[in-house]
Chains A and B, each alone.
Chain A
């Protein structure tokens, strides 16, 4: 899966929980889930569960700790897909 496809599959998931809908339009790898998209921290769990379902992977606690922005999420997904 190339990065464009990955971000295209990731975007609708994070858009669901983003409170700043304008920031969703300009999502890129540097976008921060909390600071930019204003995702509520309780909804970060939903982002992680949705990502697990969408990509059929399991995100361990250590990975979850750093999944605070788009680039970290992409790295984690790519990494988990490789070891599947």
Chain B
């Protein structure tokens, strides 16, 4: 099963003030906060870690048919960042999820799967958030945020 999450970075900057007191403590553990504060682009790392957690959570909640808001239980590790891509792991409720992310100055997109080989097989379509009947195309996972709509096909 595949999960995906898109973050419109312009929208996120408008909607969320991560510098607010207590904000990071509710979402990120101490190791994740170290990754955020030790780099030169803290907001980029924040949304990268956030989208990793979100994409893994989407798989879990679909499989377990359970909803909860537990960002601290989704723990990111093994994060490796290249120029405009990143890979990592998210662990949650004894399950390990592999993630792959892509980012530019406008948006950040992450896909997650319990099977590493599945990540290489997916087709990703990112469009502006136009009204088209994407349900007919039967995407495996859908994410929208701000101006963007991300569809992932297996």
A-facing residues in B1-44 (Cβ within 8 Å): 12, 15-17, 20-23, 26-27
Contact between chains at B54 and A41 (CB < 8 Å) = yes
Q: How far is the CB of A73 from chain B (nearest CB, A)?
A: 11
**Count of A-B residue pairs with CB < 8 Å:** 43
* Cβ A66 vs Cβ B68 within 8 A: yes
- How many residues of B sit at the interface, in one of the four size bands? 20 to 34
Tell me, in angstroms, the Cα distance from A43 to B12 when the chains sit together: 10
Q: Are B68 and A68 interface neighbours, CB within 8 A?
A: yes
- Cβ 8 A contact of A61, one of B20, B21, B70: B70
Are A64 and B69 in touch, CB under 8 angstroms? yes
**Does B154 have its Cβ within 8 Å of any Cβ on chain A?**
no
> Would you call A48 an interface residue if the criterion is a C-beta within 8 Å of the partner chain's C-beta atoms?
yes
Interface size class on chain A is 10 to 19
Out of A42, A52, A61, A68, which one reaches B12, CB within 8 Å? A42
A67 at the interface (CB under 8 A from B): yes
Complex CA–CA separation, A26 to B55 (angstroms): 31
CB contact between A49 and one of B26, B54, B71, B72 (< 8 Å): that residue: B26
B70 touches A65 (CB 8 A): yes
